[in-house]
Structure 1
Amino acid sequence: MKRYLPFLITLTLFAYGCNQAPQFTVYGEIDNYEGYVFLRYGDAVDSTIIEEGKFIFEGTVERVMQAAITNKADGVFSAPFYLDNDSVYVKTTFAEPYIKMIEAHSPANTLVTQVIDEVGAIMEDEQKLRSNGIFLYMDSITQLYPRNDFIIDVTMEIVSGDYITLQQSDKLLGTIDTTLIHPVEFEAVKTAISRQERINPGDEFPAFSFNGLNGETFTQESFPNQYLLIDVWATWCGPCIQSFEKLKPIYEDLDGTLEILNVSIDPYPQLPINFLEKNKLPWKQAYAEGEFGNPFLKQLGVVFLPFYYLISPNGEILAINPAIEEIPELIKSKGSLKGVLK
């Protein structure tokens, strides 16, 4: 019996290992911070304490999904990355009031970089755009990763924009697992697709009325002789908050030519009020009830954040979701431009 014991132990360990669910390991470093950090993914929140500037989390997920390292259990996704059952190395830093991402390395995050680079290259190649390059690429990638959160997010942005035909949008939505999309967001996507037949660059922006956080009301008439950037955002949106720093120098350089109207879609207005008390911004602030289900924002096709409309003084839509660095040139040229994937 003794001669078989090592074999039996090995066999038992192998069988035990085969029965274990795949696991992820998120390990990394953080600068300028002590105490607890949290890993948020899906509906889950895990916590651990920083030891010598390092942290580690372990668990399991059923698919590739967005996650974030935060300094609060319900904090902003300010250090986001994509999580799968693999090892993920993340490097972060604490810059009051949030933890911010420096880099993330794993197969899932490598895919993110590859897709962003490929989509960006197609967007910059007019010949590829005209020959359905964006659809052909997304058609292949969605078939490979129909349940990948990032691929689903990119697909939603593509079908919500002006990049492909309505029939091609239907094809992509039929490939990804739409049951993983929040019902309100999916309804907004369908609204955005129908918007493509109604609201586009060059059209007149619909009449609007937003309630300001200070009690005022904002309409098109509130911005006479000014270009207006309507910026739909929320305090939980890390990219929204990061974009403010990019907008500040543009706002200052244009010196009254451009006004910005932030429209928060947080669950209740006290959230942006609290945020803005700690993070002063020089432009106008408003609030829209109903989050993504707000009727006017649904009409506009707002399905992701941040979402931008650049409007001329006469009410013409100059761009939908322009890259921030393009805004000065758009205003200078007074031309219409379709949005680009950021």
Structure 2
Amino acid sequence: MKIIIAVHTLLMLTCFTITASATSISTSDTTTTPDFSLIDSNGKNISIHSLQGKVVFINFWATWCQPCVQEMPSINELKESFNGNDQVVFLTIDVDAELPKSKAYMDNKHFTLPVYAATTAIPRVFYYHSIPTTTILDKNGEIIWHVEGGKDYTSPEIRRILTEHIESK
């Protein structure tokens, strides 16, 4: 009986410690959006923080992911609707970092979406092993929208979110 009580106590303490750690991690993540670096299919390097001052649409995907492939035409259509607007940036990040393969996919489909791969660890606040995942950052680099799973990006909701933040000072 004493062993059972000791095991239960140990489990409760472990759960409390994990919960306390998770709470402190998520609290710190909401105050400052972490940075990470990317490389595009032409070898150009950028960081998320270097894009501050612009609204940033980030989509994490892979060529083998069926929901990713299904939503890609709507992401491309959304990007095209903002064509020529230098206040918004679209990033499609291949989580497998297979840039030649993902670039060939985009070219084959006649999509104009730029393809990137992470060159540093991607913070969990952006992506954590679930694709597709999409995050939108405001001009200050703060997360304003985040969704895991496929979505139709031709919806008025997404266009409204982007437009409102593009037009904000």
1:227–1:274: structure 2 CA closer, same or farther, 3 Å change rule? same
Query: Is 1:258 paired with 2:84?
Result: no
Give the secondary structure class of the aligned counterpart of 1:313: coil
Structure 1 position 310, deviation (Å): 0.3
Partner of 1:247: 75
Q: 1:295 aligns with which of 102, 118, 121?
A: 121
Superposed, 1:5-84 pairs within 5 Å as: none
What is the root-mean-square deviation of aligned Cα atoms in Å? Answer: 3.1
Structure 1 position 230, deviation (Å): 1.0
Work out whether residues 97 and 117 of structure 2, in 8 Å CA contact, stay in contact via their aligned partners in 1.
Answer: no
Superposed, 1:295-334 pairs within 5 Å as: 295-298=121-124, 300-321=126-147, 324=153, 325=155, 326-334=157-165
Query: Counterparts of 1:215 and 1:207 in 2: how far apart (Å)?
Result: 19
1:197–1:224: structure 2 CA closer, same or farther, 3 Å change rule? closer
Work out whether residues 61 and 131 of structure 2, in 8 Å CA contact, stay in contact via their aligned partners in 1.
Answer: yes
Superposed, 1:124-135 pairs within 5 Å as: none
Most deviating of 280-289 and 219-228? 219-228
Q: Which string of whole-angstrom CA distances, capped at 9 and with x for unpartnered residues, describes residues 69-120 of structure 1?
A: xxxxxxxxxxxxxxxxxxxxxxxxxxxxxxxxxxxxxxxxxxxxxxxxxxxx
Q: Which 5+ residue runs of structure 2 have no aligned equivalent?
A: 1-14
1:250–1:287: structure 2 CA closer, same or farther, 3 Å change rule? same
Higher alpha-carbon Rg: 1
Work out whether residues 126 and 135 of structure 2, in 8 Å CA contact, stay in contact via their aligned partners in 1.
Answer: no
Q: 2:39 aligns with which of 208, 211, 216?
A: 211
Superposed, 1:68-217 pairs within 5 Å as: 196-200=26-30, 203-217=31-45
Structure 1 position 229, deviation (Å): 0.7
Work out whether residues 193 and 301 of structure 1, in 8 Å CA contact, stay in contact via their aligned partners in 2.
Answer: no
The aligned length equals 140
Structure 1 length normalisation: TM-score?
Answer: 0.35
Give the secondary structure class of the aligned counterpart of 1:278: helix
Q: Which 5+ residue runs of structure 1 have no aligned equivalent?
A: 1-166, 171-191, 335-342
